Structure 1
Amino acid sequence: MTLKQKLIAGTISGALGLVTLIGCELYDSRFSNADRLYHESHVDANTANRYDLTFNEDDVMFFGERKISPETANAYLETFNNSYNLDRSPNFGRKKYLPKDIASFVENNISPEDIVELIGEFSDLQISEYNQDFTFVDIYHLIKSNINPEEANKYALLNRDYNSNIRGIDIVKYKEKGFTFEEISKKARENWLEKSLDE
């Protein structure tokens, strides 16, 4: 490489570094390592800064990877902030649902409006009667399908006893297809025995 080429390369490299530095300085001060957002997640400053102040750098990277916009994430956050039942409840506190659960709500097409409707329609006591291993998404599906805690919690015991992974939506599908709890219990036990023998 000639001296001229080295000088040009150095100038370009320095200019790119300056552009990166300037780009990183546009991020809110809450982002301690804006370089990660800029280079690893490709979340630009304009987008990152629009996420609610509650969200930190890791949260924004998580949302960026899953293509969840600031407007969508903030709508769920606002819902939890304004729903006194979620704020007061020991089992369903607002922090429990950030940020992975927001992604889960989005993937399951559960809108903030649906959550408000659910919280308004059912008390903390009713919701807390469901086994604590059920997520809010699970409980959402169970309540919407009129599956009471007593019935749903039997499936949660299968998860514990046989290392199953039966979620709320699974229980709804079993009911729709006419499977009884006894049939599912038998299948869970068989799967558990089969796995045990393979180990």
Structure 2
Amino acid sequence: AAYAACEDKAGRAEVKPRLHAALHGLLAHVSESMVPDAERTAIDAMLVDEVIGVEHWGLLRALQVVGLYHAFLGLPQTMEQVRRKLATVSTAKVTEYLEVELGKSIEACTDPLALRRVQEVLYFMTGAGRFKKDLGGVDLDKANKKVVATARNKAGRAAEALENPHAAPATGEGKKFAFETGLMDFVADYREEDKVREQRQLDDMGAMVDKAVARHNAKGKR
């Protein structure tokens, strides 16, 4: 809250690295610990309500680190908002974050499961095979999708090399993994929940309008 209220650009610039480090520490906690569902849900809501709108770059920068991807799978609202923010970022910045920095993290990673999680999250970021109309009208453009796909394929090849160290190197995109079907189901469920929330908001707004009109009409009859 203090960061959001600060109007001193120099002060914000000084604080920003510490804020990003704190966010990454929180994501690392979610990634590495058996966080209870209630706590994880609270963290998810806090990141969406208090962080995304103020300083989303810290969450986007988390996409540079293999070890933080597990957290996103447990924070579905945050993951969706990061996807939406990623759709607003330039191709140069997406390339820096995913091809360059994440690429280095992938090369240094020795945990195939962590790399599979990178694949899952990046698949989600590209819309998980959905049309733009099914993604709330927000989707990555073709250039950014290509960058994300390149990073995802690199993670997949690295995971396969660790899982099958004596196998011949994979070429091309390779096989599709079972998680894609599961993730698409997850996305569909999330979208359905999102639609329910939006409809509830519309219903509430409609009820408010009806009440306002009724009060206005009642005053007119007096």
Shorter chain as denominator, the TM-score bin is under 0.3
TM-score (norm 1): 0.25
Relative contact order (C-alpha < 8 Å, sep 6+): which is higher?
A: 2
Q: Who wins on radius of gyration, i.e. which is larger?
A: 1
